[in-house]
Amino acid sequence: MTTTLPTDSGARLPGLIRRLTGDEKHAPSAHSTIDVLQVLYDRVLRVTPDTVDAPERDRFLLSKGHGPAAYYAVLAAHGFIPDAWLDDLAGPESRLGHHPDRLLVPGVEIGSGSLGHGLGLAVGTALGLRAQGLLKPRVYVLLGDAELDEGSNHEAIAYAGATGLDNLTAVVVDNESASYGWAGGIASRFTVNGWTADTVDGRDHEALYAALTGHRPRHPHLVVARTESKG
Amino acid sequence: MRTAFIDTATALLDEDPRTALVLADISAAQFAPAGHRHPDRVLNVGIREQLMIGVAGGLALTGLRPIAHSYATFLVDRAYEQIKLDLDHQGVGAVLVSIGASYDGSAEGRTHQSPGDVALFDSLGDGWTVRVPGHPDEVAPLLRNAATTDDPVYLRLSEQRNTEAYPDASRLLVLRRGLADAPLVVAVGPMLDPTLAATEGMDVTVAYTHTPRPFDSRGLRALASTDVVLVEPYLAGTSSAVVSRALADVPHRLLALGVGQTDLRRYGDPADHARWHGLDADGLRRSISAFLGSVGG
């Protein structure tokens, strides 16, 4: 298994994102995730274009599948997909839609778009790895704060915490999109169920790196990445 | 059938390290011994059916073969979008095993009844194999067959049962043959015995299958004459579209019998519900006789 060396995709990302068009509606959600994605793919995830099917790879599941411009740009920057794919987002011949499809895009672990599915799939993936003795890979799943409104997430939060599923990290990008907000903070909803949690500035790469690698034994881990309000 | 499922799934967990079982508290006690032996592959997520299917999807993504099990209404109706997205859309399969089919839960009321489950699978396209055993001895071979593949399979277990098992009835199996051009009556799963009783003495061909999806269209074309009668233990008309497609270029009439669309808001036992839905032998005989007697009428 090849370990990804630290790389810096930052210089390429603005140009790659500019090549993506036609998704204006979801632009705020795309930009809210770019720093988390950059840190994950540059420094954290042990997965490369050559290991997208390797059992030992880390898994990254984008649950918040809308506004995937930043995701596609990061995948292109790391060589999972050709840059040219970015020029025809959701076109008739495109493999890149407004919501990503795992059967169409190399390196994409789940097809997503409908909210509230990624965390359940991530829990199953973490359990499946553990059952096969694959104890090194971590499962990262990225959600939005409004997505947590979906009750399916609450099923997964409670179960993962109760069973101490410690190869799982959820990342919630909090741009204050939830209709009624989260009194007491997002992290409290997880920690009360047995998760460990770090809440950090979602634009601070060093803080994100520390949080994304700050999991502890016997607990699933949460990273809340706070960004500017969607407004 | 439930016991046969539990015994066979327990054996599969012992034999095949690829199999995993996901429960939502239903049947958890019966699977406790298997859980002690295979704590990483017998997973009870609590009363969380959406998560049950999401977990099954995640397990399948890592290469395991998940079996998920609950009452049909919770496993299929409640978690329908998870079946659609966490399995189908991800391009992975699982074995979904339900109990409480249609009016098995008559005394429990509508909350525990799911006559529309097979129709829901039809809405997902043609990828799903749907097995509706009519006898406990049909369960083990069907489950074992499903466990060896990665395909999406729905196994629909019932407390209603026929007196004899026909494990090889993946395709239409002729159990009573009428004269040339006799009407064809197709009975699915536990509807076989009442269908045989209802058509006693009639000049009809009776064929049985426990696998309505994929439907044996070739067998249907070989056996069908002008008149075709479907007798299914779930919503009436569920297989009408399949039969109509198979016979699109052949002049035919179709009578589709099954559970009615209306919530009866009555309790009683399954035999009462069979009678109210016209699915007991007397009701079936009345419907089939009227249909066949109406030729040219």
Instruction: Flag if B86 and A111 touch (Cβ within 8 Å).
Output: no
Instruction: Flag if B54 and A117 touch (Cβ within 8 Å).
Output: yes
Q: For residue B202, what pLDDT is reported? A: 97
Interface test with A, best of B23, B51, B65, B92 (most A CBs within 10 A): B51
Q: How confident is the model at residue A18 (pLDDT cuts 50, 70, 90)?
A: confident
Chain B residues touching A156 at Cβ < 8 A: 48, 51, 54
Q: Is A50 helix (H, G, I), strand (E, B) or coil?
A: helix
Say which residue the tokens 């064929």 belong to.
B207
Does the pLDDT value for residue A28 go beyond 90? no
Nearest residue of B to residue A153 by CA position? B51
Burial of B165 (0-12, 13-18, 19+ CB in 10 A): middle
Interface test with B, best of A129, A136, A155 (most B CBs within 10 A): A155
Instruction: Flag if B63 and A109 touch (Cβ within 8 Å).
Output: no
Cβ neighbours of residue B18 under 8 Å, at least 6 residues apart?
B63, B64, B65
Stretch A187-212: mean pLDDT, rounded?
Answer: 98
Q: Is A93 helix (H, G, I), strand (E, B) or coil?
A: coil
Chain A residues touching B66 at Cβ < 8 A: 124
Q: Is A62 helix (H, G, I), strand (E, B) or coil?
A: strand
Interface test with B, best of A105, A127, A163, A168 (most B CBs within 10 A): A127
H/E element, B95: strand B95-99
Instruction: Flag if B59 and A127 touch (Cβ within 8 Å).
Output: yes
Task: Give CB contacts under 8 A, 24+ apart, made by A85-92.
Answer: A86/A16, A86/A19, A86/A20, A87/A19, A89/A20, A89/A21, A89/A22, A89/A23, A90/A22, A90/A23
Rounded-to-integer distance, Cα A228 and Cα A201, Å: 9
Residue type, A77: A
Say which residue the tokens 């204006």 belong to.
A24
Rounded-to-integer distance, Cα A52 and Cα B123, Å: 32
Q: For residue A170, what pLDDT is reported? A: 98
pLDDT tens, residue by residue, A30-65: 688 999 999 999 999 999 999 999 999 999 999 999
Instruction: Flag if B54 and A152 touch (Cβ within 8 Å).
Output: yes
Nearest-CA distance A29 → chain B (Å): 22
Instruction: Flag if B64 and A131 touch (Cβ within 8 Å).
Output: yes
Is the CB of A172 inside 8 Å of chain B's CB atoms?
Answer: no
Nearest residue of A to residue B83 by CA position? A117
Rounded-to-integer distance, Cα A107 and Cα A77, Å: 12
Is the CB of A53 inside 8 Å of chain B's CB atoms?
Answer: no
> What average pLDDT is seen over chain A?
93
Tokens of A197: 């949690």
Strand partners, A201: A226
Nearest residue of A to residue B89 by CA position? A111
Residue type, A32: S
Instruction: Flag if B63 and A128 touch (Cβ within 8 Å).
Output: yes
pTM above 0.90, yes or no: yes
Is the CB of A129 inside 8 Å of chain B's CB atoms?
Answer: yes
Chain B residues touching A168 at Cβ < 8 A: none
Instruction: Flag if A120 and B58 touch (Cβ within 8 Å).
Output: yes
Chain A residues touching B58 at Cβ < 8 A: 120-128
Query: What is the residue-level pLDDT of chain B in tens, covering all 297 positions?
Result: 999 999 999 999 999 999 999 999 999 999 999 999 999 999 999 999 999 999 999 999 999 999 999 999 999 999 999 999 999 999 999 999 999 999 999 999 999 999 999 999 999 988 999 999 999 999 999 999 999 999 999 999 999 999 999 999 999 999 999 999 999 999 999 999 999 999 999 999 999 999 999 999 999 999 999 999 999 999 999 999 999 999 999 999 999 999 999 999 999 999 999 999 999 999 999 999 999 997 544
Cβ atoms of A66 and A98 closer than 8 Å: yes
ipTM, 2 dp: 0.95
Strand partners, B228: B184, B254
Is the CB of A126 inside 8 Å of chain B's CB atoms?
Answer: yes
Cβ atoms of A221 and A214 closer than 8 Å: yes
Is the CB of A84 inside 8 Å of chain B's CB atoms?
Answer: no
Nearest-CA distance A134 → chain B (Å): 10
